[in-house]
Amino acid sequence: MAVVYRGTPISQGVALGHVLTVKELFLNIPQQPPDDRVAEVGRFCDCHRAAVEETQSLLENAKICLGKDEANILDAQLTFIQDEFSVIEPIKEAIVEEGLNMAQAIDCVLSKISNLFRQADDEYMRQRAADAEDIRRRLLTHSLGLTEQNYSDLPPDTILAARNLTPSDTIRMDLAHVSAIITEQGGYYSHVGIITRNQGIPSVSGLNGILTQLQDGDEVIVNGNDGTVIAQVGTVERNEFYDLLRHQREEAKALERYRFADSCAADGTQGLICANIGNETEVSRVLEAGAEGIGLLRSEFLYMNCGQLPSEEVQFQAYRKVLEAMGNRPVTIRTLDIGGDKDLPSLPMEHEDNPFLGCRAIRLCLSHVELFRTQLRALLRASVYGNLHIMFPMISSLDELHRAKAILDRAREELTVEGITTAPVRTGMMVEVPSSALLADTFAKEVDFFSIGTNDLIQYTVAAERGNPGVEYLYTPYHPAVLRLIAMTANAARENGILCGMCGEAAADTALLPLLWGMGLREFSMSPGAVTTVRSALAGIETAACEALVPKILACSQAKDVKELLQKQMYSHLVG
Ligand code: PEP
Ligand code: MG
């Protein structure tokens, strides 16, 4: 009788294979203090050097065998492990001042860093704990004189089962023979998530206790679409698996024709399907996905990945890289959105009881003008390398927008005086606070575009914190109040002749697409993996039918009615 385990789907696809559990090295940290603290620091320096060399060789390997994104993870680790300020000096200090032995000092300093990341409210930051943990293990392995297990020659159809996988684990592995990866820990934004999605390996995480349930050699089916893992596979499950595999291949083949196609509705009305990214290293995924531009570059990740505030030059290089790679396609870079659920270790902030209602995003930038000015200068300098759109987050009053634009104008004037050329940029704002949606007619006269951030707009409209399971029932883009705010924003954009797009998660919801299209939204920005699906859904809808749907939906008073109505209006009914 088959047994089904349920976890979180993190990389699409299905696979049938045999389990191989990834054994972790047992790191037994000695407790004796060192006889000679200075000599212990010397031993740490040797071990640190070896760990840096290993990271360098993993990086080289990743460049050859995996891809840019994997190499970038290792590149970031290389910077991290060599960080004097947060890694090397604190470890030396712990040895000299606290009398810890080298292994204890490594463990103490890196566990602290990793815990800090883990406690962050933001999912992306939490996943950065994996880097700190990876470096902790690498330094400890060297300091204890141990050797990592070898997974470089795996049998075909291996299903790797692990507690969690670090980037260096995956780089050491023979991924060509790995047909799926299942883990107890890690989420969508974990390294396992990033790597498996990029490599097209089906993956499921959050399978608590799976390592105690499965044994090496067990045959299992992994379904990265719905997050299930089936053990004790029988004929019925095997047949279902082959049906699913066939269906998946047909679907992928059908979607392939939308990869580099125009984004337009069945009646020919043109739109733009763009991608959201977190930093400059992800631009290759955008191009591979066939996105027509970047609708949201969350620039804060550039700040979060640095141990210190990134200089104007560091930012300029990153923005330039993205703009050059994208050619003349639009690239919307959102200015720093820190605060709320995203902390910046290099920028200490006052404690706030309600950080989501506190000094975040544009509010923080307007209270740290120098920080904001540096970013705007870097953006303007990069503007000559492509088609740059600058977007301000969390605008909630006209005064904020005026101040932000004035600082942008001043930065441009300064650069001109310095003899630095800048190109014209389109300036827009996120509509993610109800006040800006309600005042959209006013804002529309002051910006070149709107991009609706449903992730925040929902939480501020229904007063339900994003990511809080206790109030999840309220947190939905189908809530009529949210939809009315979206409609107000789209109307104001249309009346003032500016573009209205969406870059929140709802932009990839194909069930909502006819409604949003009918309201007049014309740019949708989403994770690169969703681009072809949304583009194919768009090709199946008829603009006039979508427009007729809008008043019916806006008359609904409950989310469930909205959902029902949208479900009834299948795409086939909307065409013609
Ligand atoms: C949003 O709020 O919808 C959005 C895209 O911004 P973020 O998720 O980065 O807050
Ligand atoms: Mg937001």
CATH of the domain at 115: 1.10.274.10
- Which pLDDT tens digit goes with each residue over 485-533? 999 999 999 999 999 999 998 998 999 999 999 999 999 998 888 899 9
User: Nearest residue CA, atom 6 of ligand 1?
Assistant: 453
Q: Which ligand is nearest to the CA of 276?
A: 1
Q: Which ligand is nearest to the CA of 457?
A: 1
- Which pLDDT tens digit goes with each residue over 6-17? 988 888 889 999
Q: What is the dihedral of CA 365, 305, 505, 205, to 10 degrees?
A: -150
Q: Is residue 220 domain-shared with residue 367, that is, in the same domain? A: no
Q: How far is ligand 2, taken at its centre, from the CA of residue 503, in Å?
A: 9
User: Does the Cβ of 467 fall within 6 Å of ligand 1?
Assistant: no
3-class DSSP state of 574: helix
Q: What are phi and psi of 329, to 5 degrees?
A: -70, 150
- Which pLDDT tens digit goes with each residue over 154-182? 899 999 999 888 766 776 778 889 999 99
Domain boundary among the residues 124, 144, 164 is at 144
C-alpha 141, offset from chain centre:
30
Q: How far is ligand 1, taken at its centre, from the CA of residue 166, in Å?
A: 27
Q: In degrees, to the nearest 5, what angle opens at C-alpha 137 toward C-alphas 135 and 142?
A: 100
| CB 549 within 8 Å of CB 479 | no
Which residue in 238, 206, 207, 236 sits closest to 220, CA to CA? 238
**Residue 489, CA distances (Å) to 269, 389, 437, 496 in order:** 20, 19, 5, 11
User: DSSP label at 476?
Assistant: -
- Which pLDDT tens digit goes with each residue over 313-342? 999 999 999 999 999 999 999 999 988 877
Is 63 inside a domain boundary? yes
3-class DSSP state of 412: helix
Q: Is residue 560 domain-shared with residue 433, that is, in the same domain? A: yes
pLDDT attached to residue 61: 76
Could you tell me if residue 555 is left (phi over 0), alpha (psi between -120 and 50 degrees) or otherwise beta? alpha
Residue 397: pLDDT over 60: yes
- Average pLDDT rounded to a whole number, residues 390-414: 98
Residue 191: active-site member:
yes
3-class DSSP state of 30: coil
User: Does the Cβ of 186 fall within 6 Å of ligand 1?
Assistant: no
Q: Are strands 178-183 and 3-6 parallel, antiparallel or unpaired?
A: unpaired
**Catalytic residue selected from 500, 503, 546, 556:** 503
Q: How far is ligand 1, taken at its centre, from the CA of residue 498, in Å?
A: 21
**Mutational test site, ligand 1, from 336, 337, 392, max ligand atoms within 8 Å of CB:** 337
Domain coverage including residue 308: 258-574
CA distance 100 to 123: 33
Q: How far is ligand 2, taken at its centre, from the CA of residue 526, in Å?
A: 13
User: Nearest residue CA, atom 8 of ligand 1?
Assistant: 455
User: Does the Cβ of 514 fall within 6 Å of ligand 1?
Assistant: no
pLDDT category of residue 66 using cuts at 50, 70 and 90: low
pLDDT attached to residue 168: 65
CA distance 193 to 195: 6
Residue 189: pLDDT over 70: no
User: Does the Cβ of 477 fall within 6 Å of ligand 1?
Assistant: no
Q: Which ligand is nearest to the CA of 506?
A: 1
User: DSSP label at 124?
Assistant: H
pLDDT attached to residue 194: 65
Q: Where are the beta strands (DSSP E) in 28-176?
A: 158-162
pLDDT attached to residue 164: 83
Q: Is residue 409 domain-shared with residue 274, that is, in the same domain? A: yes
CATH number at residue 15: 3.50.30.10
Domain boundary among the residues 223, 250, 277 is at 250
Q: Which two tokens stand for residue 81?
A: 């492990």
Say if pTM beats, i.e. exceeds, 0.85: no
CA atoms within 13 A on the CB side of 499: 22
- Average pLDDT rounded to a whole number, residues 337-354: 82
Q: In degrees, to the nearest 5, what angle opens at C-alpha 381 toward C-alphas 376 and 383?
A: 90
Is 25 inside a domain boundary? no
**Catalytic residue selected from 47, 48, 142, 191:** 191
Please state the domain count of the chain: 3
Q: How far is ligand 1, taken at its centre, from the CA of residue 504, in Å?
A: 5
- Which pLDDT tens digit goes with each residue over 259-308? 999 999 999 999 999 998 887 878 988 999 999 999 999 898 788 766 68
Is 31 inside a domain boundary? no
Q: Which of 253-257, 431-435, 446-450, 557-561 has the lowest mean pLDDT?
A: 253-257
Q: Is residue 70 domain-shared with residue 214, that is, in the same domain? A: no
User: Does the Cβ of 298 fall within 6 Å of ligand 1?
Assistant: yes
pLDDT attached to residue 573: 47
Q: Is residue 64 domain-shared with residue 211, that is, in the same domain? A: no
Q: Is residue 372 domain-shared with residue 463, that is, in the same domain? A: yes
Q: How far is ligand 2, taken at its centre, from the CA of residue 189, in Å?
A: 17
Residue 503: active-site member:
yes
Exposed, middle or buried, 250 (CB in 10 Å: 0-12/13-18/19+)? Answer: exposed
CATH number at residue 298: 3.20.20.60
User: Nearest residue CA, atom 3 of ligand 1?
Assistant: 453
Buried b (16+ CB within 10 A) or exposed e, 146-183: eeeeebeebeeebbbbbebbbbbbbbbbebebbbbbbb
Ligand 1 atom nearest residue 457's Cα: 2
Domain boundary among the residues 110, 144, 178 is at 144
For the chain, what percent of residues have pLDDT higher than 70? Answer: 94
Residue 65: pLDDT over 60: yes
Helix or strand (DSSP H, E) at 388: strand 387-392
pLDDT attached to residue 576: 40
Q: Is residue 484 domain-shared with residue 506, that is, in the same domain? A: yes
Q: Where are the beta strands (DSSP E) in 184-242?
A: 203-205, 219-223, 228-231
Starting at the earlier edge strand, list the strands of the sheet with 158-162.
3-6, 228-231, 219-223, 14-21, 158-162, 178-183, 203-205, 8-11
pLDDT attached to residue 124: 66
Q: Which of 26-35, 268-277, 407-416 has the lowest mean pLDDT?
A: 26-35
User: Does the Cβ of 337 fall within 6 Å of ligand 1?
Assistant: yes
